[in-house]
Copies of this chain bind each other. A is one copy, B any other.
């Protein structure tokens, strides 16, 4: 008999239109209201965005800051940064270049401050520039030293014949060259049901796995939940399964050899992501030189049984 487990911390209450608990990228569907934001939140944001967005932002901010300082220098008067005033556009361009030469501490010197005000602004700008690039240095290192995206999940969870019965399976892949050590997996099933008394409620079940830990994970690992009498899914037929409102919450932890850290990764599958009666294709083979070849495109590929 399947036994409910206590709420693992996600809350038992729900509503019909509730979003999935965990997204495919491991994040939660939570909005924070009245939360404090500050430089640390900015840092966290800048560590998490994509490289393209990161560099775009860096250059954009660099551009905008120089625009602002250029306005300041034009207001002060370009004659005080060693430039003969012409028209607004020419002055602004010169001031922009002076600003960029100052904030990067380049300081060619063809332009240089010649008044107290210009001197103060440029002194301040230089130190602010250095601080900004210190910030960027920290950010870059923060981005690199954060273990991420090295574990990949198959797109779907599958339902297939297994031994004398049925089983659910999904697959993990180590997408880096470094081996993952002591990976462990925990699968919690959340089923949302309409309880007449209490409204929409989530019930949680721990799913037993054929193996929930291995020693090394250099390539892929297929996780198997046999739907036997103890499984909470035993009582459902294939067609009933697909209609369930629920989610498989997966927590993988392993020791990351490259970062020398214990890493946790969350993932989830909904019942809509359940494929019926297919099997995973083999994801690796040996090439003629004896190497194991791991094809990242195959991790999610399935074939009819």
Interface, chain A (partner B; CB < 8 A): 6-11, 14-15, 17-19, 27-36, 38-40, 43-44, 51, 55, 58-59, 62, 66, 82, 93, 96-97, 100-102, 104-114, 116, 119, 122-124, 126-127, 129-131, 133-149, 175-179, 181, 183, 186, 188, 211, 214-219, 221, 251, 255, 257-264, 266, 284, 286-297
Q: Which residue of B lies closest to A132 (CB)?
A: B130
Asked if B141 and A137 make an inter-chain contact with CB atoms under 8 angstroms apart, the answer reads yes
State whether A31 touches B93 (Cβ < 8 A): no
* A294 in contact with B32 given A11-B219, A106-B126, A108-B107 (CB within 8 Å): yes
Is the CB–CB distance between B58 and A131 below 8 Å?
Answer: yes
**Within the oligomer, what is the number of copies of this chain?**
4
- Contact across chains for B127 and A138 when beta carbons are under 8 A apart: no
Q: Can you list 17 A-B pairs with a CB-CB distance of less than 8 A? A: A15-B290, A18-B290, A19-B290, A29-B291, A31-B287, A32-B177, A44-B176, A97-B122, A104-B127, A108-B109, A131-B140, A135-B140, A141-B141, A181-B251, A186-B215, A257-B264, A260-B262
Closest chain B CB from A82 CB (angstroms): 7
